Chains A and B, each alone.
Chain A
Amino acid sequence: MQNRELNRYDASFGSELMKLRSIITVVMITIMIIVFGIWFLISPKKEFSESENRQLALAPVYTFQALKDGSYMTAIQKYLSDHFPIRDEFMTFKTKTEILAGKEEINDIYIAKDGYLIEAYKQPRQTAKIINQFGKLYQDITTDAKNNMSLMLVPTAVTVYNDKLPAAAPDKGDLKQLETMDAIYKALPEIKRIDCYPGLLAQAQTEKEDANVSPLYYHTDHHWTTFGAYIAYRQYCEAMGITPLEESAFTKTVVTDSFRGTVYSKLNDTTVPGEEITIYENPENRLTVNYQDSEEVTDSLYNKDYLSRKDKYSMFLNNLHPLIEITNETADSDKVMVLVKDSYANSIVPFLVNHYKKIYVFDTRYYRFGPASFINQHPEVTDVLILYNMNTIDTDLGIGGIF
């Protein structure tokens, strides 16, 4: 008798609790929705996201036309998601959950071995255009520099560190970058081919046996390290018949240990540790670095102001400039180089300056007149080097500016 009563009593306790729990759940979430809504409205809006390194959407401007074709609504949607409160933290939460759920690839980034975050290689679409533009540069040059043109295509971590990719990953054991590189090299037989892959691969093998060796690529960024660039520099020298400087000729300085690069930003997994950037400087060099757009002249290849910011890699050659003129009084030759490149080259320039009295560095995303006409107006140019990494070359907006 008593027992039955007890059960009935408890059943009502259970249903009361169930009701209460539904109320708490819905009310709490309602409060959160309202809090986030108000937080969004009153929080100051940033124009630029440091962590994503991009301009955030601006508040949409109302026009009747925009309303009619619906672009006004799309813009509002974009604005809201770009400026949503604690956006970065939400991103972290999503990434962490996905990793916990067993994901090994998130937003086209592999969660690879040894703490590497490696960008997947996407099916290239621009190969024909790239070949065409490089060929155009060769065609358009009328000076002797034409005969001294070389091309270095740099495979990225997905190829060189292929072993580190998670098992069964689509890029594992399938080195598609090399196929694309080969296609470009073969289509341009008149340009000297500089293959840095064998050197990088050999070094990657050495690294496996000795964990203390410097890495070739950053763990959290799509660039190579200064050491990776050094290995490629040796390959360049070998191909060009130049005697490379030994590593010991350079003073190595760790300029930061809290670098978290572009690949990190795509995941925003805040538990990933920051890493070091090391720069190699030859104390013998007497440099004049002339940024032609800002008419700023310095004696250093670095702008250390960037070290206090998120995009620390930008310290190399002071980020982006259409044309930089670098003069080194102590170079071991009087040769003059034109370098047509992406941001990978910013790490190799500190080595190249030792062998070229003058290097003109072009970023064709911003330099609009084509390096060929510059070369034709400067007959003192002896060498032309094109340097691109294989991951961003396909989407590089500067390719169209090469002629």
Chain B
Amino acid sequence: MVFSSIPFLFFFLPLCLILYYLVPFKVKNYVLLAFSLVFYAWGEPIYILLMLFETLSDYTLGRFMDKAGDKKGLRRLFLAMSVIIDLSVLGFFKYADFIIESVNAAFGTAITPFGLGLPIGISFFTFQTMSYTIDLYKKEVSVEKNYFYYLTYVSMFPQLIAGPIVRFSTVNEELHERNIDFDGFITGGLRFLKGLFKKVLLANTIGSLWEIIKASAFAGDSGISVASAWLGAVCFTLQLYYDFSAYSDMAIGMGRMLGFHYLENFNYPLSSVSVTDFWRRWHISLSTWFRDYVYIPLGGNRQGTLMQLRNMFIVWFLTGLWHGAAWNFILWGVFYGVLLAMEKHIWGKALQKLPRILQHIYAMFIYVVGFVIFVFDDMAELKHYLQIMFGFGGVPLMNENLIWYLRNNFLLLILGCVIAFPVYPWIKGKLEHWTATCSGLMRSRTSAFVLSVMLIFGYMGLFFLATAYLVNDTYNPFLYFRF
């Protein structure tokens, strides 16, 4: 089930929240668990067993590890077992076919792939459950004794299928004790609505323009131009950002409504000024996961430049691979690994001296090209599209179609670009400041009142519009089936 759908929004979520609020605290986790399992089974009726298996294994190993007390060897053994089991399941279901196909391609063998479908969200929940045993090994969290609570943590529907990757340490206290109050419902509700609007009104609509441009690049009837290809790349960048960050907004919002405080996952990544900055703002829960559980354990930057470069390469290779079992994802990860190393050791200082606008342009160029690498899992298609973008595709610089796309979508594109920067909170802050400080109590209060009424109606209007798009339901894709 996706959040931005009629069954979820009008039936699943209200029903879950009503029941959740009504039952006594001791039962709340079980209500949440039951709904989460239904939520997952809705999209993956069979693979739910896989999640049950992984959580049961990590829960049990966690208990053993706890029992082992200070016996370091035993603890290490249980940790190793946990990591091996988790990674084997992930590896088998996500990467087995990719490896088989790569071997076949490289050595001309003909091993038959398994043809398994990828269980939705497996990369997310595997990383979540691993964070528990690793942190437990490091004694950074306390053991969870109730299996159902542990399963509730891993399967909690807000963050189950599209992140953020919530670590056990973030929520383990709240699993047992949390405030569920009206304020959380309101704050969380607003956050959820923002995510819903971003997903339905921006991500989906900009995404359908990307689909049109992508199709024209491969139609072979001269419909594409260099400028259109760039516009398409920008559209996909915006689509992915809004889609992904909208899911995080909705997850964080729903978590808040349920009494949980998740960490932020996006911080206006498209407004970054360098590649380093971009990865501090994009999918924060993933990059910090790799930092804490791979980069630092490998030695991080403490063993000299050469080792640091090796560690960076490993981390970014894995980051790429995490996003999908295909070569383009690996290429995408390595692309960033190389650029980050360059920034760190070669041009980072010089970059900071440039005018800010040039730093933005530099970062934009890189992440837009990056997402083109990200989107084409067929290397031939990727090459074709990049050739068009960089003027080697034998297509005109501009054409009528570009004008058509811009004419039809100018408002959408302007909004999409502007909102990707922290402009909305800035305007709202300015307006609020202005109403609070404008001379005369009456005037000040009237303008504050008018602003509030406008915002209320704005939200209601957007809610109706989002519902209209869902009812019409022409284009509502789920982008993370590869993660």
Contact = CB atoms under 8 A, between A and B. Distances in A.
Interface of A: 6-7, 10-11, 13-14, 17-18, 20-30, 32-34, 36-37, 40, 67-70, 73, 76-77, 80-81, 84, 87, 90-91, 93-94, 97, 101-105, 107, 123, 166-170, 172
A101 B14 contact: no
Name the interface size band of chain B.
Answer: 35 or more
B456 A28 contact: yes
B411 A102 contact: yes
Contact of A37 (B11, B410, B412): B11
Contacts of A27: 186
Instruction: List 9 tightest A-B contacts by C-beta distance, closest first.
Output: A26-B189, A90-B468, A94-B468, A21-B452, A168-B404, A168-B403, A101-B411, A90-B471, A80-B6
B417 to A, nearest CB: 15
Contact of B452 (A20, A33, A34, A104): A20
B448 interface: yes
Contacts of B473: 81
A14 B436 contact: yes
B448 A17 contact: yes
Given A14-B432, A32-B463, A168 B407 contact: yes
A68 B46 contact: yes
7 contacts: A6-B441, A14-B448, A25-B460, A37-B11, A70-B43, A90-B467, A103-B408
Contact of B465 (A17, A30, A76, A94): A94
B436 A10 contact: yes
A260 B445 CA distance: 49
Contacts, number: 131
Contact of B407 (A34, A91, A94, A167): A167
A336 B375 CA distance: 60
Given A28-B456, A80-B7, A81-B470, A33 B14 contact: yes
A167 to B, nearest CB: 7
A37 B404 contact: no
Contacts of A14: 432, 435-436, 448
B468 A104 contact: no
Contact of B189 (A20, A30, A84, A87): A30
Given A29-B460, A102-B408, A91 B468 contact: yes
B326 to A, nearest CB: 24
A118 to B, nearest CB: 15
Given A70-B45, A123-B219, A168-B404, A33 B9 contact: yes
Interface of A is mostly: helix
A24 B474 CA distance: 31
Contact of B468 (A20, A73, A93): A93
Contacts of B455: 21, 25
A17 B471 contact: no
A102 B463 contact: no
B5 interface: yes
B3 to A, nearest CB: 13
B5 A77 contact: yes
Interface in B417-452: 432, 435-437, 441, 444-445, 448-449, 452
B465 A169 contact: no
Nearest to B403: A168
Interface string B143-160: 000000000000000000
Contacts of B251: none
A37 B11 CA distance: 6
A29 B10 CA distance: 11
Contacts of B1: 73
Given A18-B452, A25-B455, A91-B472, A10 B408 contact: no
Given A10-B436, A26-B190, A77-B6, 5 more contacts: A14-B432, A17-B449, A26-B186, A81-B470, A93-B464
Contacts of B467: 36, 90
Contacts of B409: 102-103
